[in-house]
Amino acid sequence: MANGEEDDIPATSGSPDASLTQDDNFTVTSHAGLAYPWGDAAPAAGETIRIANGISWARIPMPGSLGHINSWLLDDADEDGEGVAVVDTGICLTMCSDAWKALYAGALADARITRVFGTHLHPDHIGLAGWIAKKRGVKLWMTRGEMLTARAIIADSSDTAPEELLVQSRAAGWDDAAIEAQRTRGWNMFQRMIFPLPRGYMRIEDGDRIAMGAHQWRVVTGSGHSPEHACLWNEREGILVSGDQVLPRISSNVSVNITEPDADPLGEWLASIDKLLRVVPPDVITCPAHGEPFKGLHVRLTALRDEHRMRLYKVAEAVSERPMRAVETFPLLFSRPIGEHNLGLATGEALAHLKRLEVEGRVRKEDRDGVWWYHGVA
């Protein structure tokens, strides 16, 4: 992890367009029932795209399959005048900090940063939050569940994987070679991708209404992907900054992990989908962490819910025919090959689906010498 100085932001990590800023002639596209008002446009380096009154869009490049994170810039006025609040920041890597420097020299050259929001604790969202907060002399705003969990993970660093993780992997059906590779990879990837967080922060809670100049942003929390994920909803302008709680083309990872090995994150995720369907209207412009702004929030939420329900059905049917370990459910859950690079994520998701089926009384778990076998329930 960086030790707190700007020059110590690492250049690499083991983790995972032409500018249209001044162009109003966007080509609207649609896909899977969603409409994309800006088509496949994306902000170029150092530039932003205006989305609506009160919000602009910047894109921060990242390594890995996602390739970027969207940072949402909210108009913010306080006693010191006009300013910009930053929502989500990118990983603590030079390619991300260089993107911010390009913004400071470009679209944000005359802007004053007023505060930083982290929608949730994952490094692509808060990796540079501490860096921006320190450099600009502002506070970090997060939910308590996200901040305290981030601090707990950062404090738990080791050159070898903890025994609890190895036990869980064996229980899920990993072979000895995969477990040994996991052991030697260590337990400090998260820490290396986050610039030191400030000791103090501003807590936000579900239902809070945050005044920023002429705008009010309501906090709407969800869970399952992370403990207390915060979305920001501008009711008057019809804008939802959704973070990873709603993504247009991919489904966020929902995993059982060793910090809460008996949790039911998929149950929390499904409940959060129902909450968003109930609370936020269908016609908002949804501004996600990855992908493009879109319309069709309820269409997407319903698709996400139905997709997980279909996966649960397939797994329940399969284990009713024969007992299965978590690793044997991968072909039922995922359309892509599972290898060493994504084995951990796939295992966490498989365990989350199996736990949900346990909670619903549709499967039961049997421990055979430290390996979990799942049986159907008649």
- Render 258-302 in DSSP notation, one character per residue: TTSTT--HHHHHHHHHHHHHHHS-TTSEEEESSS--EE-HHHHHH
* pLDDT level of residue 78 (50, 70, 90 thresholds): confident
As a whole number, mean pLDDT of residues 187-194 equals 89
Tell which wins on pLDDT, 186 or 206. 206
Question: Quick one: which H or E segment has residue 311?
Answer: helix 297-321
Tell which wins on pLDDT, 8 or 207. 207
Helix-strand-coil percent breakdown of the chain, rounded to 5? 35, 25, 40
Tell me, what's the pLDDT at 8? 58
* DSSP for residue 6: G
With 0-12 CB in 10 A as exposed, 13-18 as middle and 19+ as buried, what is 293?
buried
Tell me, what's the pLDDT at 237? 97
As a whole number, mean pLDDT of residues 276-284 equals 98
> What would the pLDDT profile of 1-50 be if each residue is shown by its tens digit?
443 445 456 655 433 322 222 233 445 566 789 999 999 899 999 999 99
Strands 209-212 and 215-222: antiparallel
* Residue 248 identity (one-letter amino acid): P
> What would the pLDDT profile of 115-137 be if each residue is shown by its tens digit?
999 999 999 999 999 999 999 99
pLDDT at 240 over 70: yes
Residues whose CB is less than 8 angstroms from the CB of residue 260 and which lie 6 or more positions away in sequence, other chains included: none
What's the token pair of residue 112?
Answer: 């004053």
> What would the pLDDT profile of 331-356 be if each residue is shown by its tens digit?
999 988 899 889 999 999 999 999 99
The pTM assigned to this predicted structure is 0.92
Tell me, what's the pLDDT at 2? 40
Residues whose CB is less than 8 angstroms from the CB of residue 172 and which lie 6 or more positions away in sequence, other chains included: 325, 326, 327, 347, 350, 351, 372
Axis crossing angle, helix 343-359 with helix 265-279, rounded to the nearest 10: 80
Tell which wins on pLDDT, 64 or 286. 286
As a whole number, mean pLDDT of residues 260-288 equals 98
The domain made up of 6-376 has a fold known as: Metallo-beta-lactamase; Chain A (3.60.15)
Domain ranges in the chain? Answer: 6-376
pLDDT, mean over the chain: 91
Task: Count the Cβ atoms, other than its own, within 10 Å of residue 36.
Answer: 20
As a whole number, mean pLDDT of residues 194-223 equals 97
Tell me, what's the pLDDT at 84? 97
Tell me, what's the pLDDT at 19? 20
Tell me, what's the pLDDT at 1? 40
User: What is the Cα–Cα distance from 87 to 217, expressed in whole angstroms?
Assistant: 12
User: What is the Cα–Cα distance from 156 to 169, expressed in whole angstroms?
Assistant: 19
